[in-house]
Structure 1
Amino acid sequence: MNLLAHAYLSLQDPEILLGNMLGDDVKGKQIHLYPPKVRIGIQLHRYIDSFTDQHRLTTEARDIYRPYIGLYSGAIMDISLDYFLATDPAVNSQAMWQHFAQWAYQSLEAQISWHTGGFKRYFPYLRKENWFVHYAQKPFIENAMANLLKRVGRPDGTAMVLKSFEQHHDYLKEVYGQFFPQLADYVQLKAAALITNPI
């Protein structure tokens, strides 16, 4: 669910960006149906998810949500991390996020024939509602959390999840601050390896 992180960590390459966006929809050997750089993006998506899901900082932080939504705490944590990425002045100003978002939407639109699965369904909303910029707005993030929990049949946990997000804001921001630079370094290493030794 951490769409902004996947997009931002796509090395400013349109094809790698597409692969990173399709990552959840491409299973196993289906990766070989795509062009080389798109395959790199798909594999980077898998690396990002694995690193995030297994990292000590994020697994511990998910505990603030887990009592209310169980296994879906990981997806909510991803949305939380995207909020802090979008509001991190050390990464981008809001003007630069606007520029990045327009580049990303245009790049993805130009490759629309490759869109598939869930991404094909939600890309029009991603662009129309300017998700990559609006991740910096707390009401947008809270609405994203509520909509996710509604989709997975756990709307009963919404109130406590939103309350926990607010109450633990400073802690979650600290987790992001420690975690994201490690993720970015990891992605750079994996991307370099994939470019040298393509899938």
Structure 2
Amino acid sequence: MNFLAHLFLSGESEKIMVGNFMADYVKGRKHENYKVEIQHGILLHRSIDSYTDTHPIVSQSGQYFREVYRKYSSVITDLIYDHFLAKNWEMYHTQPLPLFVSRCHEVLVKNYLVLPRQVKMFLPFLIKSRRLETYAEIEGLRTALNIMVRYTSLPEKTDLAIDILLENYDALESEFHSFMKDLIAYIVNEKEIELKHLVKKA
């Protein structure tokens, strides 16, 4: 999962949210250099990634992109799942997405000094662009992919990724909802994270 999903799955603890957000930039045992609750957030992030990477529905979604992206198909799937989360936010969270994103920004700024250097570098741009909200729109997703192309080793095939998404949109969206049901249950029951603002399903 990508930034929005990790923040959503952090529950009410600000420190867990911070750890969860920055975890990709804390390698190996370096998480032990942080306060305990931030460590919990980093380890939660790793658990979410492990659960996601081994889930058959996520693997099924990745197949749409595998011919084009090969080993990067899971990266594309993560970002597209964030698109579906943002688009369908009201199905999962009782707070409006702009309010949730603003709270996340406030928490991250308040804890700016503990963030890894790479996170400190991109956080102002993420906040200024309200990028987490823009995931809800196809053009926002396109922008996020293009940013990843510029700053990571992701192949420059954004237009193809968007075409594949649009051609298989309903199937991918259905797979996302099925996976989120399992992931939320895992977070609540196995990781014991309280999702206070989770929308209760009938």
TM-score by length of 2: 0.88
Structure 2 contact 80–141 (Cα < 8 Å) conserved:
yes
Structure 2 contact 72–154 (Cα < 8 Å) conserved:
no
- The residue that corresponds to 1:61 in the other structure is 61
Please identify, of 112-121 and 58-67, the stretch whose mean Cα deviation from structure 2 is larger. 112-121
Matches within 5 A, 1:130-169: 130-150=130-150, 151-152=152-153, 154-155=155-156, 157-169=157-169
Letter in 2 for 1:37: E
- The residue that corresponds to 1:107 in the other structure is 107
Matches within 5 A, 1:1-199: 2-88=2-88, 89-92=90-93, 96-150=96-150, 151-152=152-153, 154-155=155-156, 157-192=157-192
- How far does residue 117 in structure 1 lie from its aligned partner after superposition? 4.0
Gaps of 5+ in 2: 194-202
1:81-136 alpha-carbon deviations (Å, 9 max, x no partner): 0011111131147x711111111000110001111043222111111111222111
Structure with greater helix share of residues: 1
- CA 1:22–1:190: 2 relative to 1, 3 Å: farther
Q: Secondary structure in 1 aligned to 2:192?
A: helix
- CA 1:51–1:117: 2 relative to 1, 3 Å: farther
Letter in 1 for 2:91: A
Query: What CA distance in whole angstroms lies between the structure 1 residues aligned with 2:86 and 2:71?
Result: 25
Gaps of 5+ in 1: 194-199
Query: What CA distance in whole angstroms lies between the structure 2 residues aligned with 1:21 and 1:108?
Result: 9
- How far does residue 146 in structure 1 lie from its aligned partner after superposition? 3.0
1:127-159 alpha-carbon deviations (Å, 9 max, x no partner): 11112221112110122123323432521x322
- How far does residue 3 in structure 1 lie from its aligned partner after superposition? 0.5
Number of aligned residue pairs: give it.
191
Structure 1 contact 44–190 (Cα < 8 Å) conserved:
no
Please identify, of 46-55 and 125-134, the stretch whose mean Cα deviation from structure 2 is larger. 125-134
- CA 1:98–1:24: 2 relative to 1, 3 Å: same
Q: Percent identity?
A: 26
- How far does residue 189 in structure 1 lie from its aligned partner after superposition? 3.0
Query: What CA distance in whole angstroms lies between the structure 2 residues aligned with 1:153 and 1:41?
Result: 26
- How far does residue 77 in structure 1 lie from its aligned partner after superposition? 0.4
Query: What CA distance in whole angstroms lies between the structure 2 residues aligned with 1:112 and 1:29?
Result: 21
Structure 1 contact 21–119 (Cα < 8 Å) conserved:
no
Structure 1 contact 31–42 (Cα < 8 Å) conserved:
yes
Structure 1 contact 57–179 (Cα < 8 Å) conserved:
yes
